[in-house]
Amino acid sequence: MDNTQARLQGLWLPLITPFLDGALDETSLRRLLKHFVSGPIDGLILCATTGEGLTMDEEEVERLVSISAHEVADSGGGLPIYLGISGSDTRKLVSQLQRTANWPIDGYLIACPYYTRPTQEGLIRHFSAVADATGRPILIYNIPYRTGVNLENEAMLELAERQNIVGVKDCCANASQSFDLLQRRPADFSVLTGEDALFFSALTQGADGGITASAHVLTDDFADIRDSLSDGGLGDTLAKWKRLARVPELLFAEPSPAPVKHWLWRTGLIDSPEVRLPMIPVTKGLARTIDRELETRATLVAT
């Protein structure tokens, strides 16, 4: 494998997309970006599942990408931006790559084809065609409980030989498969967990980082887990993780990103917790639970 891109690692944020009265909320988007690009994250994913990309039209996606790239550039940092795209028609996916060829992004997060459930050979051919259609790096998104198909390790390792397939967002929900991949992957192939609740354990097993929706909140604490493990402090890091582990549990108690948006709205980072159908806002019960968690943590900080 001869990838020219730097290995992807660390804490990546699959950014939510703020809406207001049915439209892209550009004011809240800019506020979010200013908040996060100045913080400890290592990369941004736009318009993926957490970003409700499947509910957005092409003009909205392009506008979101343009604003995000502008804010990152203004920050003076080189924070990489990946665009989440997906589909079950390989030709249409190739067309998406061609339409976005001149957009200010650094790479793509591309999910396995959903619903059609192709064979492993079909998956290899699908991602090979996609890789041939762009010179940008590609992260494969393997999440069989959403797509209906699991990209198994033999196929994954074959695809890892391609120069611009640089890693995987791993949500395979099979601990043995994940650990096997970590042992056998090429040196330049990144494994980033997409399971927020497994962020700590994945890092202890050798994962390069995580794409973590829960890191929208308490971002510094998630980054502290990343840094503490890098420094070799397993015992101290486990204690920190025990204090943080309830957050992913809360934020995935109902379909994402509604709980994340409720938390961000309560803290003033976005002006509305609005989501687009078929997503709906959090229930009153979960809203109360999140509000209590915020109050508890505010009290702990104050003391």
pLDDT at 236: 85
In tens, the pLDDT along 189-209 reads: 999 999 999 999 999 999 999
pLDDT at 4: 41
Angle between helices 219-230 and 234-244 in degrees, nearest 10: 160
Q: How many residues does the chain have?
A: 303
pLDDT at 233: 75
In tens, the pLDDT along 280-303 reads: 999 999 999 999 999 999 887 776
pLDDT confidence band for 5 (50 / 70 / 90) = low
Which of left, alpha, beta for 79 (phi over 0: left; psi -120 to 50: alpha)?
beta
pLDDT at 2: 34
Average pLDDT score over residue span 143-151? 97
In tens, the pLDDT along 220-257 reads: 999 999 999 877 678 789 999 999 999 999 999 999 99
| Token output for 34 | 């200013």
Q: Which of 115, 169, 240, 242 is catalytic?
A: 169
Looking up tokens 């209906």, which residue turns up? Answer: 148
Residue 261 annotated among the catalytic residues of the structure: no
Q: Which of 115, 141, 145, 242 is catalytic?
A: 141
Cis amide prior to 257 (ω within 30 degrees) = yes
In words, the CATH class of domain 10-244 is: alpha beta
Specify whether the CB–CB gap between 83 and 100 falls below 8 A: yes
pLDDT at 3: 36
Q: Which of 285, 5, 295, 299 is nearest to 134 (CA)?
A: 5
In tens, the pLDDT along 101-124 reads: 999 999 999 999 999 999 999 999
Helix, strand, or coil (residue 84): strand
> Domain ranges in the chain?
10-244
**pLDDT higher than 90, residue 125:** yes
pLDDT at 67: 98
pLDDT at 92: 97
Specify whether the CB–CB gap between 236 and 242 falls below 8 A: no
- Angstrom distance (rounded) from CA 56 to CA 236: 42
pLDDT at 232: 66
Tell me what percent of the residues of the chain surpass a pLDDT of 70: 98
Over the chain, what is the mean pLDDT? 95
Residue 169 annotated among the catalytic residues of the structure: yes
pLDDT at 192: 98
Average pLDDT score over residue span 37-44? 96
**pLDDT higher than 70, residue 50:** yes
Which of left, alpha, beta for 14 (phi over 0: left; psi -120 to 50: alpha)?
beta
